[in-house]
């Protein structure tokens, strides 16, 4: 290409998140940045899109190499707005995050950060979601930088297969204590005991979402999973497919097809 790479940066923690600032700074080393975030934090919004209310976009600032927008939609809305309406060129790379908190294992399903990256992959743009295992709004992203640089360099040089993005989680450790990068599978886990029931001042019951993550992988096994890598001081990189087909079971399910078509032929 004759121009610098155009890098779309987004997140799900809102426009003032420290993780997004860290990622914008990093992205500017690699090319021109167009950044979009939601006005409000959008954790847990997954791949939601806004259908019922109009989307509004505000140009926040414009300087050489960095244009910033904010919108009233979800992370996926923001990505779609850049792809379709806000950018003259299709971005060469999409970076999402750095999320304040983990998106490993099945948390990838609920994550707005990772949904933004998956939306990039659906549109055949190399896309990476970054998360630091620290929910503190004032988390220190310094240790993330060399690992994020490594992953970004890899993706800019080699690209990613169409429809596949990366879910990068970084342990909340100092640079010296992080042991390196591991290419992982998504650990088999889920969230348990997820609601706290309370009574409001008028006597009505309500629930707050809460709970804790349960890893189904064996205690001393699962060395290939993201949960194992993170617990053992590694940065986990899971290649994520936007084709959700469970190819391994297609053949065994054919009997359902035969049973039904038998009635009709």
Q: Which residue has the tokens 């806000």?
A: 86
For residue 62, state whether it binds its own copies (rule: CB under 8 A). no
Judged by beta carbon, residue 1 or residue 259, the one nearer its own copies is 259
Token pair of 162 as six digits: 């169409």
Judged by beta carbon, residue 64 or residue 258, the one nearer its own copies is 258
**What DSSP string runs through 113-169?**
HHHHHHHHHHTT--EEEEEES---TT---TTHHHHHHHHHHHHHHH---TTEEEEEE
Q: Candidates 17-25, 27-35, 60-68, 239-247 — which segment interacts with its own copies by CB under 8 A?
A: 239-247
CA distances, 137 to each of 45, 132, 250 (Å): 18, 11, 44
Segment 209 to 228, residues that bind its own copies, using CB under 8 A: 209, 211
Judged by beta carbon, residue 58 or residue 65, the one nearer its own copies is 58
Q: Which of 63, 204, 212, 219 binds its own copies (CB under 8 A)?
A: 204
Select from 214, 221, 126 the least CA-distant residue to 168: 126
Token pair of 257 as six digits: 């097809």
Select from 216, 210, 113, 123 the least CA-distant residue to 163: 123
Judged by beta carbon, residue 141 or residue 234, the one nearer its own copies is 234
Q: Which of 137, 208, 218, 232 binds its own copies (CB under 8 A)?
A: 208
What is the pattern of x (binds its own copies, CB under 8 A) and - over residues 118-147?
xx--xx-----------------------x
Task: Name residue 235's beta-bridge partners.
Answer: 181
Q: Which residues contact 256 (CB under 8 A, 6 or more apart)?
A: none
What is the pattern of x (binds its own copies, CB under 8 A) and - over residues 1-40?
----------------------------------------
For residue 194, state whether it binds its own copies (rule: CB under 8 A). yes
Q: Which of 193, 201, 203, 220 binds its own copies (CB under 8 A)?
A: 193
Select from 179, 117, 115, 178 the least CA-distant residue to 152: 117
Q: Which of 4, 16, 56, 142 binds its own copies (CB under 8 A)?
A: 56
CB of 8 to its own copies, least distance (A): 15
For residue 68, state whether it binds its own copies (rule: CB under 8 A). no
Token pair of 112 as six digits: 């707005």
Tell me the C-alpha distance between 218 and 222, whole Å. 6
Q: Candidates 18-26, 30-38, 92-100, 150-158 — which segment interacts with its own copies by CB under 8 A?
A: 150-158
Judged by beta carbon, residue 65 or residue 208, the one nearer its own copies is 208
């Amino acid at each position: 290409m004759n121009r610098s790479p155009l890098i779309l940066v987004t997140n799900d923690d809102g426009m003032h998140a420290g993780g997004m600032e860290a990622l914008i700074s990093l992205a500017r080393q690699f090319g021109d940045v167009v950044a979009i975030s939601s006005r409000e934090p959008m954790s847990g919004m997954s791949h939601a899109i806004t259908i019922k209310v109009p989307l509004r976009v505000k140009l926040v600032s414009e300087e050489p190499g960095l244009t910033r927008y904010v919108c009233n939609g979800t992370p996926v809305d923001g990505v779609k707005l850049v792809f379709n309406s806000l950018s003259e060129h299709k971005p060469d790379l999409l970076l999402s995050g750095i999320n304040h908190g983990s998106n490993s294992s099945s948390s990838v399903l609920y994550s707005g950060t990772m949904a933004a990256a998956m939306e990039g992959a659906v549109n055949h743009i190399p896309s990476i979601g970054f998360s630091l295992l620290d929910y503190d709004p004032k988390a220190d992203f310094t240790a993330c930088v060399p690992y994020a640089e490594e992953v970004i360099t890899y993706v800019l040089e080699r690209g990613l297969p169409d429809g596949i993005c990366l879910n990068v989680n970084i342990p909340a450790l100092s640079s010296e204590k992080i042991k390196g990068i591991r290419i992982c599978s998504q650990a088999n886990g889920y969230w348990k005991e997820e609601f706290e029931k309370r009574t409001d001042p008028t006597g009505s019951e309500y629930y707050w979402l809460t709970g804790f993550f349960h890893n189904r992988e064996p205690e001393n096994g699962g060395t290939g999973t993201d949960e194992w890598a993170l617990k053992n001081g590694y940065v986990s990189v899971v290649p994520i497919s936007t084709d959700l087909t469970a190819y391994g079971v297609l053949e065994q399910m054919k009997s359902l097809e035969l049973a039904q078509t038998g009635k009709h032929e």
